[in-house]
């Protein structure tokens, strides 16, 4: 397995980094192409393993997909097979996002249950409950969800759906299903993430009527025909990739990085916490500049659904707090097992005490290089930014997680002055 080897330069990050398209926006939008048989064209799609996995899944379902990142073309193939096998779903849980579009468009779907992953159990009960409200019959059989429209595969009907927890994937699955249901649906207690708003923009381009995305109540009026129209769309920039480089920029005094194409309005919670820690974050046209002049102050963070502090930035922010003066309390409320970076950071000299869903970080203001590895995407990112400022040499192993979510990470870090190289087939 590949590793990233990072050697200390002793210097803060400086330079410019361009942000790629958002993985978590591109994945549901690729699934939305199932709602139409025409040829859809996506632009600004990041070159990532999860995009390839989604393309493979769409091909398995019978679509004709051409990935030439940052462009992706999807069209109908000869025949549709509304079935997502375990082999593909286990590689990427977001595959469950084909369930809503498949059952809405073809009247039936058989999709493997994703199961848990490194960061938590991650059930999909809210997706299933919502589809049932739209008239689906759902049964679970040998690890698969089998969903059927009313009366043996008929058209779904608009309904009221109340989510018990705001779920990003659940909201997206239901929006896509409701976009082809008969009549109007009201989704309550929805996730408000920018990626949900982005999917709503695409569904509106496709001919559905979606309003309220970005708030906790979304109304969807299904298109009055069996399918939606094809679309062309450029994906929004990846706010979590942007946030990761912003935090990396602030790890050492003197850091000065222009993060190109990042939207400050999607990153408000992070920006406020960074400013509270003493970091300068400013808008420069379409870009964000991050500068650190003096010492970092410790600040507390609790993750929450958007617009709260994103769970996908918790690991990276914890690495930052290791470099601060004082004690920082970091609470994770979204996933039950998202502190796997902590034991690895401890091996690099961090002082962190874990108590349930809370990490108490005593800033040590320096890190030592070590061999480390992580078992999920954002935890891996936190180790890379720690390695970028640690002394001597850090090897971050098992970086296939990083390749799922960070496009050309070593080239982008090199551009910021980090001495980094990819070691092919390193010991895992
Ligand atoms: N939940 C349920 N039941 C459900 C669905 C969710 O109890 O049916 C719970 C989850 O267990 C979790 C909470 O609701 O405690 C929120 O989960 P959500 O459904 O919002 O997460 P997701 O849609 O599976 C997306 C991102 C994640 C990100 C979370 C939270 C994609 C493809 N993935 O996951 O991204 O952490 O929202 O913001 O959009 C990542 O990019 O590294 C990543 C893990």
Instruction: Tell me the C-alpha distance between 102 and 81, whole Å.
Output: 9
Query: What are the CA-CA distances from residue 209 to residues 156, 176, 350 (Å)?
Result: 16, 11, 50
pLDDT of amino acid 403: 92
C-alpha dihedral sign at 50, 56, 59, 61 = negative
117 is catalytic: yes
Instruction: Tell me the C-alpha distance between 126 and 143, whole Å.
Output: 17
Element (H, E) at 157: none
The string over 365-380, giving b where at least 16 C-beta atoms fall within 10 Å of a residue's C-beta and e elsewhere, is: eebbbbbbbbebbbbb
Q: Could you identify the atom of ligand 1 that is nearest to the CA of residue 24? A: 39
**Ramachandran sector of residue 400 (left: φ over 0; alpha: ψ -120 to 50; beta: rest):** alpha
Q: Report CA(266)–ligand 1 centroid distance (Å).
A: 18
Q: Could you identify the atom of ligand 1 that is nearest to the CA of residue 121? A: 11
Instruction: Tell me the C-alpha distance between 58 and 84, whole Å.
Output: 9
pLDDT of amino acid 23: 97
pLDDT of amino acid 428: 66
Which residue has its alpha carbon closest to ligand 1 atom 19? 167
DSSP 196-246: HHHHHHHHHHTT-EEE-BTBSEEEEE--SSSS----EEEPPB-HHHHHHHH
Contacts of 96 (CB under 8 A, 6+ apart): 84, 89, 111, 113, 114, 124, 127, 169, 173
Q: Look at residue 74 and give its three-state secondary structure.
A: strand
pLDDT of amino acid 409: 96
Contacts of 147 (CB under 8 A, 6+ apart): 99, 102, 103, 108, 109, 110, 111, 128, 131, 136, 137, 138
Which residue has its alpha carbon closest to ligand 1 atom 40? 312
Q: Between vectors from CA 34 to CA 50 and to CA 136, what angle results, nearest 5°? A: 105
311's tokens: 């769970």
Kindly give the confidence (pLDDT) of every residue in the chain, 428 residues in length, as a single tens digit, with 9 standing for 90 and above. 899 999 999 999 999 999 999 999 999 999 999 999 999 999 999 999 999 999 999 999 999 999 999 999 999 988 889 999 999 999 999 999 999 999 999 999 999 998 777 877 789 999 999 999 999 999 999 999 999 999 999 999 999 999 999 999 999 999 999 999 999 999 999 999 999 999 999 999 999 999 999 999 999 999 988 899 999 999 999 999 999 999 999 999 999 999 999 999 999 999 999 999 999 999 999 999 999 999 999 999 999 999 999 999 999 999 999 999 999 999 999 999 999 999 999 999 999 999 999 999 999 999 999 999 988 999 999 999 999 999 999 999 999 899 999 999 999 999 999 999 999 987 66
Q: Look at residue 259 and give its three-state secondary structure.
A: strand
Q: Report CA(239)–ligand 1 centroid distance (Å).
A: 16
Angle between helix axes 239-249 and 377-387 (nearest 10 degrees) is 20
Q: Report CA(25)–ligand 1 centroid distance (Å).
A: 13
Query: What are the CA-CA distances from residue 72 to residues 31, 39, 40, 195, 231 (Å)?
Result: 12, 10, 8, 18, 12
Number of CB atoms found within 10 A of residue 98's CB: 28
With residues binned 3-state (H G I as helix, E B as strand, rest as coil), the percentages for the chain, rounded to 5, are 35, 30, 40
CB 367 within 8 A of CB 6: no
For ligand 1, whether the C-beta of 170 sits within 6 Å is yes
pLDDT of amino acid 426: 76
pLDDT of amino acid 78: 84
Query: What are the CA-CA distances from residue 386 to residues 30, 140, 341, 377 (Å)?
Result: 33, 43, 10, 15
CB 277 within 8 A of CB 317: no
Query: What are the CA-CA distances from residue 302 to residues 309, 334, 352, 359 (Å)?
Result: 7, 10, 16, 10
pTM (2 d.p.): 0.98
């Amino acid at each position: 397995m590949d590793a990233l080897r990072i050697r200390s330069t002793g210097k803060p990050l400086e330079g410019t980094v361009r942000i790629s398209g958002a993985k978590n926006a591109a994945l549901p939008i690729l699934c939305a192409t199932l709602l139409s048989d025409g040829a859809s064209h996506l632009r600004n799609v990041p070159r990532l393993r999860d995009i390839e996995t989604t393309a493979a899944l769409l091909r398995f379902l019978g679509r004709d997909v051409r990935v030439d990142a940052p462009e992706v073309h999807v069209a109908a193939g000869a025949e549709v097979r509304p079935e997502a096998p375990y082999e593909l779903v286990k590689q990427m849980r977001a595959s469950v996002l084909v369930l809503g579009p498949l059952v809405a468009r073809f009247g039936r779907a058989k999709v493997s249950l994703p199961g848990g992953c490194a960061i938590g159990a991650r059930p999909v009960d809210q997706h299933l409950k919502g589809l049932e409200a739209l008239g689906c019959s759902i049964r679970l059989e040998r690890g698969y969800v089998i969903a059927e429209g009313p009366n043996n595969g008929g058209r779904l009907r608009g309904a009221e759906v109340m989510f018990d927890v705001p779920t990003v994937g659940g909201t997206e699955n239901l929006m896509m299903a409701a976009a082809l249901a008969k009549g109007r649906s009201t989704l309550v207690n929805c996730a408000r993430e920018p990626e949900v708003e982005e999917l709503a923009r695409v569904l509106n381009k496709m001919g559905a009527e979606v309003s309220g995305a970005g708030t906790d109540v979304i109304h969807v009026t299904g298109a009055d025909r069996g399918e939606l129209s094809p679309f062309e769309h450029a994906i929004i920039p990846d706010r979590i990739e942007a946030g990761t480089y912003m935090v990396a920029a602030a790890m050492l005094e003197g850091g000065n990085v222009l993060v190109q194409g990042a939207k400050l309005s999607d990153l408000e919670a992070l920006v406020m916490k960074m400013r509270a820690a003493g970091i300068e974050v400013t808008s420069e046209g379409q870009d964000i500049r991050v500068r650190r002049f003096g010492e970092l102050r410790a600040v507390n963070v609790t993750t929450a659904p958007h617009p709260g502090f994103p769970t996908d930035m918790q690991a990276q922010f914890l690495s930052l707090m290791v470099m601060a003066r004082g004690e920082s309390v970091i609470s994770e409320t979204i996933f039950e097992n998202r502190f796997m970076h902590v034991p690895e950071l401890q091996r690099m000299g961090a002082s962190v005490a874990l108590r349930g869903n809370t990490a108490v970080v005593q800033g040590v203001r320096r890190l030592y290089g070590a061999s480390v590895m992580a078992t999920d995407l954002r935890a891996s990112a936190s180790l890379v930014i720690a390695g970028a400022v640690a002394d001597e040499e850090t090897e971050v192993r098992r970086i296939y997680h990083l390749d799922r979510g960070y496009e050309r990470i070593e080239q982008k870090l090199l551009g910021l002055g980090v001495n980094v190289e990819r070691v092919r087939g390193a010991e895992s």
